[in-house]
């Protein structure tokens, strides 16, 4: 059991070091030697767990997927208004970009030709699917304009968030990413939410960003 635990820790350290290298330099320029130095693992230990640099990158993508699943699961049972839940989800994602090298690496990897397919299968699909369901609930409640469907709402929102993240990368500053993500959501809602919901939101603002404080279903705006 002790040997298994050591192996698990070694693997986790290699994945973390690989994520740091991929996030910093991208896939093609990433150095296996730098990954080894960052993980304090031997080359033999690395190749025991991973067959290649691509195998390492896919392990990072898998770890990121687990984090996106955890974010959406955290908010899954919230009884807040769907737009408030979307706000909470994207704020957690922004925190991940700021604080978690695994999440940063995933964003860098999926723009590499070797991993284009992961755009459809990775973290974006997980939170995007949840977002579409939440937008559908908002539309059923009369708070998303009938002119716009849930899919269009999420497509425009996801594109805006990706643009904000990309620009933050260009200037090497993710410190205000949470505010930028919130800004994107608010602009999309100004365009697509109903006047009824917008009037309420202008008065009440966003709910506090914690799941525990969620309202009961009877408190939701309808």
**pLDDT at residue number 218:** 32
Rounded to the nearest integer, the mean pLDDT of the chain is 89
> Can you give the pLDDT at residue 171?
77
Is the predicted pLDDT of residue 41 greater than 70, yes or no?
yes
What pTM, to 2 d.p., does this model score?
0.87
pLDDT at residue 39 tops 80: yes
Q: How confident is the model at residue 36 (pLDDT cuts 50, 70, 90)?
A: very high
pLDDT in tens, 194-206: 999 999 999 999 9
Report pLDDT digits (tens) over 74-111: 998 999 999 999 999 999 999 999 999 999 999 889 88
Cα distances (Å, whole numbers) of residue 15 to 2, 104, 139, 164: 20, 13, 41, 26
């Amino acid at each position: 059991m002790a040997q298994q635990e050591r192996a698990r820790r070694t693997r986790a350290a290699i994945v973390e070091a690989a994520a740091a290298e991929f996030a910093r330099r991208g896939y093609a320029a990433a150095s296996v030697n730098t990954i080894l130095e960052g993980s304090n693992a031997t080359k033999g230990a690395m190749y025991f767990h991973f067959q290649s640099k691509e195998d390492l990158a896919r392990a990072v993508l898998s770890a990121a997927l687990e984090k996106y699943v955890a974010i959406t699961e955290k908010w899954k049972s919230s009884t807040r208004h769907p737009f408030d839940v979307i706000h909470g989800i994207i704020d957690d994602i922004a925190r991940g970009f700021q604080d978690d090298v695994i999440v940063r690496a995933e964003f860098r990897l999926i723009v590499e030709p070797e991993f284009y397919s992961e755009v459809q299968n990775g973290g974006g699909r997980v939170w995007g699917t949840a977002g579409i369901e939440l937008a559908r609930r908002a539309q059923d409640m009369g708070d998303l304009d009938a002119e716009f469907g849930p899919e269009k709402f999420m497509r425009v929102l996801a594109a805006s968030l990706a643009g904000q993240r990309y620009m933050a990368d260009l200037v090497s500053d993710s410190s205000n990413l949470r505010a930028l993500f919130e800004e994107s959501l608010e602009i999309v809602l100004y365009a697509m939410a109903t006047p009824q919901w917008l009037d309420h939101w202008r008065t009440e603002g966003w709910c506090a960003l914690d799941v525990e404080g969620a309202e009961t279903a009877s408190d939701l705006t309808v």
